[in-house]
Amino acid sequence: MPQELEIYQYDTATNTTLPLFLSPVAAGFPSPADDFLDKKLDLNEHLIKHPASTFFVKVKGDSMVKAGIHPGDILVVDRSLEPLDKKIVIAILDGEFTVKRIQKKGSQLFLASENENYQPIEVTDGADFEIWGVVTTVIHPV
């Protein structure tokens, strides 16, 4: 079953840098010995490789929960990437957007959920189908 998605275009004018500590953190904050910042991290630069073809998509529905994609999550989607087997993609199937994992079995193509309550959807020759983009990052609030 297709999910409803909200799609947002990447704003290239946005540039926010945040502190980045180069010292790894096991399970907490850096030690007092690391009270200086090593460099700045721009999340746009870190998460977005192809700004002209990148969009953000807000997820509604639970069909991808076992892949770590939950309702309300924001997906970073790159339309310039090749949709390879086993990749998570945003697809348009019969006029509806959905987020699913591509599964190729011989000459058959399926859009698979990551939730046992949903069966894989076979994409048949007569289907109105397009892969809109490849999911590169999931932003999941804790």
Catalytic option among 63, 80, 87, 107: 63
Q: 6: which strand partners?
A: 58
**Tokens coding 9:** 């275009």
Catalytic option among 58, 100, 104, 105: 100
Buried b (16+ CB within 10 A) or exposed e, 85-111: eeebbbbebeeebbbbbbbeeeeebbb
Q: Which residue in 14, 24, 74 sits closest to 44, CA to CA?
A: 14
Q: Which amino acid, one-letter code, is at 29?
A: F
**Is residue 63 annotated as part of the catalytic site, yes or no?**
yes
Q: Which helix (H) or strand (E) holds 56?
A: strand 54-59
**Is residue 31 annotated as part of the catalytic site, yes or no?**
no
For the annotated catalytic residues, the residue numbers are: 63, 100
